[in-house]
Structure 1
Amino acid sequence: MEKTQIKCPHCGKTNRVPAAADTGTPRCGNCHEPLPWIVAAGDDDFAGVAEEGAVPVLVDLWATWCRPCLMVSPALEQLATERAGQLKLVKVDVDAAPRTAQRFAVRAVPTLLVLQHGEVLARQAGAALVPELRRWLDQALAEGRKKETTA
């Protein structure tokens, strides 16, 4: 699996971050603070990248030609940075990953999903501002925590 380069928001050093990890979350090799975990996935590696691991996953199903997708991307990256060590952002280009788009019945882009252990906790189509996305994400994560405590 590929590695992505992420600049540490704390010290500015660039780190290579794995697309998938069985345990833990990425930390800066210099200052040891949690790093934003932002990676891309496609049809062949989606399961390993987005459905396995220790933290919930925010999936951005987007397209290169989609203006709202390009507008919401910085907001999603901001949320991933705010929640470094607690959340993983996985970006999926639906044109390059048609099986993944079909699996999640994507009818509009962007489509956002929150996954926990491969289970869809929440779904939203369309772009939104950071405060709206933060509320939606918080609600989804709260539902996920509630499910884990009752299981």
Structure 2
Amino acid sequence: MSDPVHVVCPHCDAVNRLSAGRLADQPVCGKCALGLFVAQPLDVGAEGFARHIGRNDIPVLVDFWAPWCGPCKMMAPAYKLAASQLEPAMRLLKLDTEQAQELAARYTIRSIPTIAMFKNGREVARQAGAMDAGGLVAWARAQAAGR
């Protein structure tokens, strides 16, 4: 049996503990019985961001964006496609910097879109500027592997 990991439910925010080997087996939440992976980014506010960053044992990729940003809108379909390719190895979040200005300031987000990788609650990598799906997937996998 592989080591247990904690995964935050995208529906009810409950923290689920499961075997790392079961991530690809379409696990369901122990609280709400819905799937733990939805193959798309989750829109979160400050509270959801903190919960997912702090409690997920899998890497978390965050798109810091704003609704008025043209490159952010252009990258949104690519980010959604990347989520379908990167889950269940990692969780993908979208954080609207207009709605969460304090978080954007805390993480010194100076240009958008900015993609940041978090592991064990800490930021480990960052990339500013829009990317296509292939670039997002390659970058995220390289960061998750520690390269």
TM-score, normalised to structure 2's length?
Answer: 0.74
Residue 71 (structure 1) shift:
1.2
Residue 57 (structure 1) shift:
0.5
The 1:92–1:20 alpha-carbon spacing in structure 2 relative to 1, beyond 3 Å, is: farther
| Equivalent in 132, 135, 143 of residue 140 of structure 1 | 143
- Secondary structure, counterpart of 1:23 in structure 2: strand
Specify the alignment match of 2:79 in structure 1.
76
Deviates more, 1:91-100 or 1:69-78: 69-78
The 1:87–1:18 alpha-carbon spacing in structure 2 relative to 1, beyond 3 Å, is: farther
Instruction: Note the residue ranges of structure 2 that are not aligned, 5 or more in a row.
Output: 1-8
Instruction: Note the residue ranges of structure 1 that are not aligned, 5 or more in a row.
Output: 5-16, 145-151
| Equivalent in 41, 46, 49 of residue 43 of structure 1 | 46
Q: Once superposed, which parts of structure 1, at least 4 consecutive aligned residues long, lie more than 6 Å away?
A: none
- Secondary structure, counterpart of 1:45 in structure 2: helix
- Conserved in 2, the CA contact under 8 Å of 1:20 and 1:49? no
Specify the alignment match of 1:23 in structure 2.
17
Identity %: 29
TM-score, normalised to structure 1's length?
Answer: 0.73
- Secondary structure, counterpart of 1:60 in structure 2: strand
Aligned residues: 129
